[in-house]
């Protein structure tokens, strides 16, 4: 963990950190339990209705104001930001921190942020000008920011939990696919459902998709019911804690057919359990998938997705080296990320 004195000087702002409900939330949860002995944080977003989200955002701004007035130890405000309206929301916390003359880190988590940057370049650059450091998740994204003229970009790896391996597996000889994430179009879940439905005669009794996610749950359940896909798709609810650990142990392939991504925590977690990964070649995914740990295809290419699944059925999984896969994520484990954050925070404080 960070030194206690150092952690007391950092105020983190972003999604909830007490109970993971998405990518940014999982990162902050891991920071809280693996990196910061004292984790000073403000939640500025929770899933809910628009009025509820607005209330949480305004409340967070008020909390930041009060903390920056009364907590004299705070030297750095570390803002974890998505794209689109989420970046707009995050910018208010950045502006407020600047008024209090705090050092500011903006930590961009969204895989769609490059497009948002190009559409709103003037606004984004104005926000970035208030920040001392811009954190990128991948080498590709770091190069993009630098090409846009940003000189204060630092690469910090996403952090994953230490895996808890258990001797539990599905022993029925089927390929058990695991999807973890938002049940939304950008995550590609409906592309996967369409492929399973179209080729159900080939896949039934050979593949089962386990879906762990939130958001458009009712829509997914209606599709499963109306198209009679019960034998192919099982909705497992939002998976966290022991249930997520259980499913990561039991399933033999992780799948994420996203249309856009940054660097998905879910893929890194799957690697830590030695799971073979099927994913699209978007965002930072090509930086972490190789011929040993997974296979990629183009986003929204259902024919390519079908071929990948068909090849897995034909060839089996005997070629998968689970131990080799686990070794690919050492730099994303808490000990490694803690060192990266410690170096970053100390360099900012020492430079004051």
Residues 126 and 202 in one domain: no
Residue 277: which domain range? 175-330
Residues 33 and 146 in one domain: yes
Sheet holding 207-215, edge to edge: 233-235, 207-215, 175-183, 253-256, 276-280, 294-297
| CATH value at residue 294 | 3.40.50.2000
Tell me: the pLDDT tens digits for 59-102? 999 999 999 999 999 999 999 998 788 899 999 999 999 999 99
Q: Which residues contact 211 (CB under 8 A, 6 or more apart)?
A: 179, 183, 189, 220, 233, 234, 235, 236
- Structure-token match 């803690």, residue found: 338
> Is there a domain that residue 283 lies in?
yes
Residues 203 and 123 in one domain: no
d(CA 179, CA 236): 10
> Is there a domain that residue 185 lies in?
yes
- Which SS3 state, helix, strand or coil, does residue 81 take? strand
Q: Are strands 175-183 and 253-256 parallel, antiparallel or unpaired?
A: parallel
So what's the pLDDT on residue 112?
76
- Structure-token match 């990948």, residue found: 308
H/E element holding 214? strand 207-215
> Is there a domain that residue 166 lies in?
no
> Is there a domain that residue 192 lies in?
yes
Residues 149 and 196 in one domain: no
Residues 104 and 124 in one domain: yes
> Is there a domain that residue 236 lies in?
yes
Residues 143 and 226 in one domain: no
Residues 8 and 154 in one domain: yes
Residues 32 and 98 in one domain: yes
So what's the pLDDT on residue 240?
86
Residues 181 and 304 in one domain: yes
Residues 297 and 183 in one domain: yes
So what's the pLDDT on residue 85?
84
pTM: 0.86
> Is there a domain that residue 165 lies in?
no
> Is there a domain that residue 169 lies in?
no
> Is there a domain that residue 164 lies in?
no
Please report, in tens digits, the pLDDT of each residue of the chain (352 residues total).
999 999 999 999 999 888 877 788 989 999 999 999 999 999 999 888 999 999 999 999 999 999 999 999 999 999 999 878 889 999 999 999 999 999 999 999 877 788 888 899 999 999 999 999 999 998 888 998 999 899 999 999 999 999 998 888 888 989 999 999 999 999 999 999 999 999 999 999 999 999 999 889 999 999 999 999 999 999 999 998 899 999 999 999 999 999 988 889 999 999 999 999 999 999 889 999 998 899 999 999 999 999 999 999 999 888 889 999 999 899 999 999 999 999 999 999 988 6
Phi and psi, residue 264, nearest 5°: -65, 125
Residues 288 and 148 in one domain: no
Residues 180 and 87 in one domain: no
So what's the pLDDT on residue 220?
97
So what's the pLDDT on residue 2?
96
Q: Are strands 294-297 and 133-136 parallel, antiparallel or unpaired?
A: unpaired
Number of independent structural domains in the chain:
2
- Which SS3 state, helix, strand or coil, does residue 101 take? coil
């Amino acid at each position: 963990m960070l030194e206690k004195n150092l952690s007391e000087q950092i105020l983190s702002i972003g999604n909830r950190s007490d109970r993971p409900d998405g990518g940014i939330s999982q990162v902050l949860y891991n920071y809280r339990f693996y990196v910061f002995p004292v984790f000073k944080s403000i939640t500025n977003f929770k899933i809910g209705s628009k009025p509820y989200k607005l209330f949480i955002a305004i409340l967070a701004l008020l909390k930041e104001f009060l903390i920056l007035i009364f907590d004299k130890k705070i030297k750095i405000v570390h803002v974890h930001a998505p794209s689109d309206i989420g970046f707009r929301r995050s910018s208010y916390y950045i502006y407020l921190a600047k008024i209090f003359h705090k050092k500011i880190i903006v930590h961009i988590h969204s895989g769609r942020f490059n497009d948002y940057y190009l559409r709103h370049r003037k606004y984004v650059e104005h926000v970035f000008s208030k920040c001392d450091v811009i954190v990128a998740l991948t080498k590709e994204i770091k190069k993009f920011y630098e090409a846009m003229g940003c000189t204060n970009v630092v690469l910090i790896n996403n952090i994953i939990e230490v895996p808890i391996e258990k001797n539990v597996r599905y022993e029925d000889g089927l390929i058990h696919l695991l999807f973890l994430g938002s049940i939304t179009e950008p995550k590609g879940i409906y592309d996967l459902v369409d492929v399973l439905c179209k080729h159900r005669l080939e896949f039934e009794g050979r593949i089962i998709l386990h879906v762990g996610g939130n958001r458009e749950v009712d829509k997914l359940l209606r599709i499963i019911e109306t198209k009679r896909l019960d034998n192919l798709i099982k909705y497992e609810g939002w998976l966290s804690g022991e249930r997520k650990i259980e499913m990561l142990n039991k399933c033999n392939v992780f799948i994420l057919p996203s249309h856009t991504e940054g660097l998905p925590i879910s893929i890194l977690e799957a690697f830590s359990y030695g799971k073979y990964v099927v994913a699209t070649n978007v965002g930072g995914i090509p930086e972490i998938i190789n011929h040993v740990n997974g296979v990629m295809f183009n986003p929204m290419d259902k024919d390519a997705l079908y071929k990948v699944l068909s090849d897995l059925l034909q060839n089996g999984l005997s070629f998968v080296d689970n131990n080799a896969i686990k070794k690919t994520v050492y730099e994303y484990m808490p000990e490694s990320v803690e060192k990266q954050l410690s170096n970053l925070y100390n360099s900012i404080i020492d430079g004051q």
